[in-house]
Amino acid sequence: MSAQLIETQESEAAQGAVRRLGRLIRNYDYLSTECGLIRTALNGLSADLAEPQRQLRQALDEAASLAYTVESDGSVTYPSASVGSAGAEQCVSGGTVQGSSRGPLEPPGSGEYGKPPRVDLHDPQGDRFRGDLHVNPHAKKARDIADRIARAVRSAAEVDARYTKTLNGLKAAQGLDVTEATLGDMHQDAAAVRTATARYLVAAMPKDASPAEYKTWWEGLDEDQRREYLDIAPDLIGMLDGIPAAVRDEANRNHLPSLIAELERTGDDPAMLEGLRKIEERLLEPHKVPMFLLGISGEGNGRAIISFGNPDTARNVSAYVPGLGTKLDAEFGGGTVKRALDTAVGAQRYDKSTASIVWLGYDAPQSIDVMSTADAEKGAPAYNRFMAGLAATNEHDDPHVTAIGHSYGSLTVGTAARQSGGIPGVDDIVLVGSPGVGVDKAADLGVPPQRVYVGAADNDIVTKLPTVPEAVVGAVGAGLRMAVPGVLSDPGGDDIYFGKDPASQAFGARRFAVDDGPHPVFDGEPIAAHSQYFTPETDRVSADNIARVVSGEYGITTERHR
């Protein structure tokens, strides 16, 4: 209704109507969310009461089977019994015992129902062993049942108190207008319900399941159950591989304001806060290709997974791993995310059914740690799990999937490819600005070598990082090469820091044409050539070649190997 008014009417009355409709929309959103919170809280209450109910029912059934009477206060009355040997039997009277809810390590009297055990005066022997066999054998059994009843009631009371506090907080302010303060209160309400129902929601999820198993679990939930996770615990769903892209997008959009609010409150990481705000801005912008927020988290240096195009419905899907210096900050939200958008726009010129993803699901190295493989080794399993999730949720029988690694991200992709089974579902691998991928041949990456594509600008210094021995030679003098034969094992001069140069003839990949880029010395731009592979404004040839591979068009322009 609002859209029709805006498009067709220009009067003050229409503008007033749009404003009132906007208020109504906010009110309904608030009402829907708060009612959803109440529903989830009640479902959580029911789930959390199930165990103490089971314990109580079991104790009551056992008491009934023994003909004991359970009183309204939870005490247990047991009958008299005959004790002693044949011919010398004596009748011992019955009695009543009051159970204790105290746990083994709790002091006497602890807990709401933690009263000291009581033995009724009609049974002076109680369940104490006095050595004269004049002890009613029912007393010990009755005490055990009474204790179990008391513990079940105490557990239920604690659950009740927790949910009572939560439900009492779910109250709307007077008036018809949902203000910013009211919306803020709604986020606090959601957090309170999440705290109260965490056990219920988390316990219902599979543990350590595969992406395919999480997909099956999600499909088995009814609509109300799904809404509970999306409204109350979106962070549990948003980063879960195997959950449909549209669901992850909704969950992460729900979770994003909470992440921003928390960083605003603590002031812990201003750079990450700017990155989150930048992503929030992008979500509100119109895009040539629909944007999906497949993951967002404050873990480590930040996690963000963004797709342009729906990877579940697209025939062609690419997932790009960024490298050195990448973290969840304003640069990521602006420049790095744009690379995925540029690839999607370029690829859709050849096939509209294409989605392009930027995957920051690991901590990329920030400085000197770029010289280590540790970050790649940690990131590779997470990347493979994400790719397995794409394979599980894509609706096509055999989608065309491309793994893209830029800079240190190419080492992460290479490390993922070397794991058992390779990168799930991948058909092509694109490596740009690579310092090496940890192998000496393209054939070692789990796909045919002709399906490995390499872009390396001549002025990109990262693609020419020296090996460790070469770095030593540079430090102590070139004469070491002759003085210590064999210190360098690279007769062809095509080894770089993390293995064979992917752009070399020996590596065996297909090298596609790219612009040389600005010279690091003569043009005074040391790393500009390293950052322009995806950007049509600065390197149209490279961006088009990447788009062709991603779309499955393959008509790339090539250049000679190094």
Tens digit of pLDDT at every position of the chain (562 positions): 777 887 788 899 988 998 888 888 878 877 877 888 888 889 889 989 999 999 999 999 999 999 999 999 999 999 999 887 776 778 889 999 999 987 655 665 554 444 444 444 344 444 443 443 458 989 999 999 999 999 999 999 999 998 998 888 887 777 767 776 676 677 778 778 877 887 788 888 999 899 999 999 999 999 988 988 988 888 889 999 999 999 999 999 988 988 998 899 888 999 999 999 999 999 988 778 999 999 999 999 999 999 999 999 999 999 999 998 999 999 999 899 999 999 999 999 999 999 999 999 999 998 765 678 999 999 999 999 999 999 999 999 999 999 999 999 999 999 999 999 999 999 999 999 999 999 999 999 999 999 999 999 999 999 887 765 444 444 333 333 333 333 344 545 577 778 899 999 999 999 999 999 999 887 788 788 999 999 999 999 999 999 999 999 989 999 999 8
CA distance 100 to 114: 5
What are the beta bridge partners of residue 406?
432
Cβ count within 10 A of residue 185:
19
CA distance 248 to 361: 14
DSSP 52-88: HHHHHHHHHHHHHHTT-EE-TTS-EEE--EEESSTTS
Task: Determine if the pTM surpasses 0.85.
Answer: no
Establish how many alpha carbons lie within 13 A of residue 223's alpha carbon, considering only the half-sphere containing its beta carbon: 0
Amino acid at 289: V
C-alpha radius of gyration, the chain, whole number: 33
Answer for the pair 550, 491: CB distance below 8 angstroms, yes or no: no
SS3 sequence of 206-236: CCCCCHHHHHHHHHCCCHHHHHHHHHHCHHH
CA distance 444 to 438: 10
Establish how many alpha carbons lie within 13 A of residue 38's alpha carbon, considering only the half-sphere containing its beta carbon: 10
- Report CA dihedral (77, 80, 85, 86) to the nearest 10 degrees: -140
Phi, psi of 220 (to 5 degrees): -80, -10
- The residue among 386, 377, 422, 430 whose CA lies nearest residue 405 is 430
Phi, psi of 92 (to 5 degrees): -105, 130
pLDDT at 107: 60
Secondary structure of residue 119 in the 3-state scheme: strand
Tracing tokens 């590779």 back to the chain, one arrives at 380
Phi, psi of 394 (to 5 degrees): -70, 135
Give the CA distances from residue 498 to residues 238, 299, 379, 472, 489, in Å, rounded to whole numbers and listed in that order: 34, 27, 16, 15, 14
Answer for the pair 312, 218: CB distance below 8 angstroms, yes or no: no
C-alpha 346: how far from chain center: 29
Secondary structure of residue 248 in the 3-state scheme: helix
Answer for the pair 386, 428: CB distance below 8 angstroms, yes or no: no
pLDDT at 479: 35
Phi, psi of 361 (to 5 degrees): -105, 20
- The residue among 129, 132, 136, 68 whose CA lies nearest residue 99 is 68
DSSP 495-532: EETTEE-TTSTTT--EEBP------TTTSS-TTGGGS-
